[in-house]
Structure 1
């Protein structure tokens, strides 16, 4: 419950950064790139909050299961062995993979809704809400479309589990040993460091996930252009250049680092309040 509340609260703050990151990341895929300042000028600053309902729903499933399972698995493992950095990494990978599978339908809706305003009018899906997106995806594309992009999402989530959750737990101890002992400063330093690390490592998988989640079948062959994590990353690198896998990195990092900071600060505060009762 507490991890879910922390994830939702943090997501509301960083959602605009995610919107910009998704739009920049998918800009070259549409073939009709629109500058983000023009998108905001045309549609208003509140367009950066497009897809917020899907983002919140994603956190309900993703943050709750990922952070909750991490604590449960770590505590269970502690009964049999000392918890070190390798234990944290293994538990982070396992909890991240489980959370990705559970929350993939909300992730597909989030990617599509966040990027819709940046597309030409004839390519927009115009989902009204996450519920409308869920109903239309099932009706128009079939139930399995909910898990389009699931494998790169799982790959990304496993890396996030290791790099964010696992390293955050370890970095708190490391910064404490370095003299960063203040509650807020310790959480901030550990969060921003783990956020930078995992944003750099996971960006290619984020790109693959975004492409697979937003894609449409080819109008002639009716086949999907992106079919697997490796094929998607390879195709993008070959046709658009390797660095295109990191398109939108800085807003993505602000989303990753910012969400890490605010999520763990909220979680730590809620835990303190709960324990002081």
Structure 2
């Protein structure tokens, strides 16, 4: 089926669309959508293909014209060319003219057949793990800077002054491998927490829960869906975050900050906590993770969705391209760092504090007490301790996890539906 002889589904077989300007054939050199099956494309665009393909062929493969015109193609893959169709020839994916327009910002939500479903859980976890591999050294620095000077006045020695100096100090005192300390629990935490968080948010997005009935994105709905998804993910992954914090805080005596738990590894740490404190000990600190992740998720995912819509409407980058996700993620990370840092500081300290024989915290009684104690001893800026490290970690992690998530979903939409 060539671009110039495209038939509208459900209409008169003789009806044809006019060929777009500069019609020509072009071989698509993508990763897998070769031969007779093109990937889905963004609404309002039509790819130019070198292989003829009938409507019957596409219907047999389960996508049809619907997938080609309303799906989510990976526009960032090489060899792709597309022609803009007139508005009257755009379809919503159900054989009817589209009710939305990309320029007006009223384009319909994600196609339920290409987004959401059980795969969003796996894709969300894999995306977060990929980001974690690259940003874990910054997580180590962030954790230590937030524990530095805990409940002490500002005067005094500080082994970590800024991010670059902290990275060098850790590598010098503990060895370069210490920059990846706690990587195993960090990866499992990302898989559990973000798999649930991004997966549940993806399901809500696919179901249209994040948009108004007219198709426009709803910021409050995005925030509520993201916060609820984040809370569920935080509770599920809390034991792994507890162990991760303990291990990442461990260091040589000359640069040690916070309480030193002296774990030998993730499995040994989980076993030791289980034996000493029981199941409740594994979830100690989860109360601080709930507001932390709820605020972070609501800020991250809602600002990412909003920024992505704005960038799409501005048409600065190719529609659906990786540049759109990158720009949206960079904008999102600024808001996340500012909104989340006070909760992150409190969460880190509650997780890392020493405990008594009955499992009670020896420094803080809970979230409110940690907030109050930190402000009394260190001032209001104590809640923003490590803000720079927080951004340098959250910024890349936000960009990478959401970028990977966005593109993995597009790849799944293209290849996974066969």
TM-score normalised to structure 1 length = 0.91
CA distance in 2, matches of 1:42, 1:109: 22
Q: Judging changes above 3 Å, is the alpha-carbon distance between structure 1 residues 170 and 121 closer, same or farther for their aligned structure 2 residues?
A: closer
CA distance in 2, matches of 1:191, 1:228: 32
Superposed, 1:247-262 pairs within 5 Å as 247-262=385-400
Shift of 1:185: 2.1
Partner of 2:292: 156
Partner of 2:329: 191
Q: Judging changes above 3 Å, is the alpha-carbon distance between structure 1 residues 92 and 80 closer, same or farther for their aligned structure 2 residues?
A: closer
Q: Is the 8 A contact 1:164 1:194 kept in 2?
A: yes
**Once structures 1 and 2 are overlaid, which stretch shifts more, 63-72 or 33-42?**
33-42
Residues 1:230 and 2:368 aligned together: yes
Q: Is the 8 A contact 2:329 2:399 kept in 1?
A: yes
Residues 1:34 and 2:155 aligned together: no
Superposed, 1:51-130 pairs within 5 Å as 51-76=182-207, 78=209, 82=213, 83-117=217-251, 120=256, 124-130=260-266
Residues 1:243 and 2:381 aligned together: yes
Q: Is the 8 A contact 1:168 1:191 kept in 2?
A: yes
Larger radius of gyration: 2
Q: Judging changes above 3 Å, is the alpha-carbon distance between structure 1 residues 201 and 50 closer, same or farther for their aligned structure 2 residues?
A: same
Q: Is the 8 A contact 1:34 1:118 kept in 2?
A: no
Cα root mean square deviation, aligned: 2.4
Q: Is the 8 A contact 1:51 1:113 kept in 2?
A: yes
Q: Judging changes above 3 Å, is the alpha-carbon distance between structure 1 residues 91 and 240 closer, same or farther for their aligned structure 2 residues?
A: same
**Once structures 1 and 2 are overlaid, which stretch shifts more, 132-141 or 12-21?**
132-141
Higher relative contact order (CA 8 A, sep 6+): 1
CA distance in 2, matches of 1:127, 1:19: 16
The structure 1 residue matched to 2:405, chosen from 267, 271, 274, is: 267
Q: Judging changes above 3 Å, is the alpha-carbon distance between structure 1 residues 122 and 264 closer, same or farther for their aligned structure 2 residues?
A: closer
CA distance in 2, matches of 1:93, 1:44: 38
What are structure 2's unaligned runs of at least 5 residues? 1-121, 161-165
CA distance in 2, matches of 1:80, 1:256: 27
Which of the two has greater helix per residue?
Answer: 1
Residues 1:210 and 2:386 aligned together: no
Q: Judging changes above 3 Å, is the alpha-carbon distance between structure 1 residues 18 and 100 closer, same or farther for their aligned structure 2 residues?
A: same
**Once structures 1 and 2 are overlaid, which stretch shifts more, 23-32 or 232-241?**
23-32
Shift of 1:271: 2.0
Shift of 1:45: 1.9
CA distance in 2, matches of 1:44, 1:118: 10
**Once structures 1 and 2 are overlaid, which stretch shifts more, 177-186 or 197-206?**
177-186
How many residues are matched?
A: 275
Shift of 1:23: 0.4
CA distance in 1, matches of 2:341, 2:185: 21
Q: Is the 8 A contact 1:196 1:257 kept in 2?
A: yes
The structure 1 residue matched to 2:309, chosen from 157, 164, 173, is: 173
Q: Is the 8 A contact 2:151 2:377 kept in 1?
A: no
Partner of 1:13: 134
Shift of 1:225: 1.8
